[in-house]
Amino acid sequence: MDNAHHGTDHELLAQLAHQAFARCQEAAANTEIPGQITRTFCSPAIAQLHQQLIGWMQSLGMTCRVDGAGNLWGKLASHPRPDAPSLIIGSHLDTVPNGGRYDGLLGVILGLALAEVVVRRRATLPFALEVVGFSEEEGVRFGTPFIGSLAVVGQCDDALLQRTDANGLTVRSALQLFGCHPDEMNSAALQPARVIAYLEPHIEQGPVLQSAQLPLGVVTSIAGQTRAIAEFCGVAGHAGTVPMQLRRDALAAAAEWILAVERIGQSTAGLVATVGAIEVSPGAGNVIPGAARAKLDVRHAEDSIRSTAVTQLRELGNEIAARRNTSFELSIVHEHRAAPMNDAIAALIEQSLADTGIAPLRLVSGAGHDAAVMARRFPTGMLFIRCQDGISHHPDETVTTDDITAALSTLWFFVQRLTSRQVNP
């Protein structure tokens, strides 16, 4: 690779980072609901965004396609061999209702900025560079996330295609109306030999980088998650007439258990444990609660630590219930395993952060990402970008151009390091 222009890299990177920042603002205009940023799977807003991105891709000489699952791909064939495997950079294009400008989209726009660095530097890479904009990650329209990336790893099955949205429309018909051919879903799947690595730049959606005063971090793992409902049942009664020692107060039992959830979260490194909702019945100020249902969320980078915590919480619930003469039941609603990122890719990202002059902070992603799905089939890594106050899924999401410059610089070093690894393995 030609490194002769190295001295002027920073100027180019800063210029392209400003362009990337401006593009994030421009792309925000693609929305289903004026005044918000709302883009759901296969909506006209996504179609408009595709047109905008295709314009930017084509101006770099990239070849564009939309696959059977509605994912947008742009390929920069910087290598003369048409069957050269790809480094894929990207993220998702959909948003939560009234979301932000950067969640998902920034990863795609940064992929384009990186492609532009390659073009402007006239770099010849030993691989193709592909930018992907996944069709669906947030799970808003069909109540299930990752439709786009699941298709790419060959796991978008019939059951998923048959799911319906609020209007009774299936995933399959939504794709057809979008102009896709869901029967070619299998063609959306990429063979492992086609992919050198998938790298997802994404805003952190948390406050860790900001509190460490670092613009970027390398993700080592995407946490596994257990969601469960804890139910305590006692006996409802009159708040004035039932003496304290004769009560079987379900909410008081639940309250004791909720504090145990917090305690276990606090006393286990890397564990997060939350009760985010509670329902009490009968639910009146002058009635002793007869039943309390609490919604539990537990996450950790290591599945064994998460399941130990859940077992502990089950035992504590039983113990509290026995002491307070209530019943206790913990029902698991949803569970998914942790997705460790590829060690070699994480190491390359760390080195590229150091090249950029940034201390390589390692962190676990508490939120799910397409990278968790892609990691099932391809060597996968994630680069986190600081967002102000950890705010995301909200119009106030904020990322600075300086941090985008740092991210682009890290991606560019990553490409150069990956190139020398391919050339001199």
107 is an interface residue for Zn ion by CB under 5 A: no
Q: Which is nearer to Zn ion, 104 or 111 (CB)?
A: 104
Q: Which is nearer to Zn ion, 21 or 146 (CB)?
A: 146
Q: Which is nearer to Zn ion, 203 or 251 (CB)?
A: 203
3-state secondary structure of 382: strand
Q: Which is nearer to Zn ion, 218 or 316 (CB)?
A: 218
Beta bridge partners of 272: 299
Selection from 356, 377, 338 nearest residue 88 by Cα: 377
Least gap, CB of 138 to Zn ion (angstroms): 7
Number of residues that bind Zn ion (CB under 5 A): 2
104 is an interface residue for Zn ion by CB under 5 A: yes
Is 92 one of the annotated binding-site residues? yes
Which among 44-52, 100-108, 279-287, 305-313 is the span making contact with Zn ion, rule CB under 5 A?
A: 100-108
The identity of residue 9, as a single letter, is: D
Residues 212 and 361 sit within 8 Å (Cβ to Cβ):
yes
Which among 96-104, 208-216, 291-299, 402-410 is the span making contact with Zn ion, rule CB under 5 A?
A: 96-104
Is 377 one of the annotated binding-site residues? no
297 is an interface residue for Zn ion by CB under 5 A: no
3-state secondary structure of 291: strand
Least gap, CB of 142 to Zn ion (angstroms): 17
Least gap, CB of 387 to Zn ion (angstroms): 11
Which among 59-67, 98-106, 267-275, 340-348 is the span making contact with Zn ion, rule CB under 5 A?
A: 98-106
Q: Which is nearer to Zn ion, 85 or 104 (CB)?
A: 104
Enter the tokens of residue 113.
């900025």
Q: Which is nearer to Zn ion, 182 or 217 (CB)?
A: 217
Beta strands in 37-121, from DSSP E residues, in sequence order: 63-66, 72-76, 86-92
* DSSP-derived secondary structure for 284-341: -TTEE-SEEEEEEEEEESSHHHHHHHHHHHHHHHHHHHHHHT-EEEEEEEEEE--EEP
Q: Which is nearer to Zn ion, 43 or 78 (CB)?
A: 43
Least gap, CB of 202 to Zn ion (angstroms): 6
Is 376 one of the annotated binding-site residues? no
- The H helix count followed by the E strand count for the chain is 13, 15
Dihedral (CA of 34, 35, 40, 42) sign: positive
Is 286 one of the annotated binding-site residues? yes
Least gap, CB of 367 to Zn ion (angstroms): 7
Q: Rounded CA gap, 25 and 204, in Å?
A: 19
The region, left, alpha or beta by phi > 0 then psi within -120 to 50, assigned to residue 58 is alpha
Q: Rounded CA gap, 287 and 296, in Å?
A: 25
Least gap, CB of 206 to Zn ion (angstroms): 12
103 is an interface residue for Zn ion by CB under 5 A: yes
Give the containing element (helix H, strand E) for 71: none
Least gap, CB of 129 to Zn ion (angstroms): 21
Least gap, CB of 40 to Zn ion (angstroms): 14
Least gap, CB of 356 to Zn ion (angstroms): 23
Selection from 142, 81, 132 nearest residue 111 by Cα: 132
Residues 105 and 91 sit within 8 Å (Cβ to Cβ):
yes
Is 299 one of the annotated binding-site residues? yes
The region, left, alpha or beta by phi > 0 then psi within -120 to 50, assigned to residue 352 is alpha
Q: Rounded CA gap, 304 and 309, in Å?
A: 9
Is 417 one of the annotated binding-site residues? no
3-state secondary structure of 131: strand
Q: Rounded CA gap, 31 and 10, in Å?
A: 34
Which among 97-105, 123-131, 271-279, 295-303 is the span making contact with Zn ion, rule CB under 5 A?
A: 97-105
Supply φ then ψ for residue 76, to 5 degrees. -105, 110
Selection from 407, 357, 415, 425 nearest residue 1 by Cα: 415
DSSP 237: E
Q: Which is nearer to Zn ion, 104 or 217 (CB)?
A: 104
Q: Which is nearer to Zn ion, 91 or 326 (CB)?
A: 91
Is 3 one of the annotated binding-site residues? no
Least gap, CB of 47 to Zn ion (angstroms): 20
90 is an interface residue for Zn ion by CB under 5 A: no
Is 362 one of the annotated binding-site residues? no
Beta strands in 37-157, from DSSP E residues, in sequence order: 63-66, 72-76, 86-92, 128-134
| Residues of the binding site for allantoate | 227, 286, 299
| Residues of the binding site for Zn(2+) | 92, 103, 138, 202, 393
Judged by the rule CB under 5 A, the positions of this chain that interact with Zn ion are 103-104
| Residues of the binding site | 92, 103, 138, 202, 227, 286, 299, 393
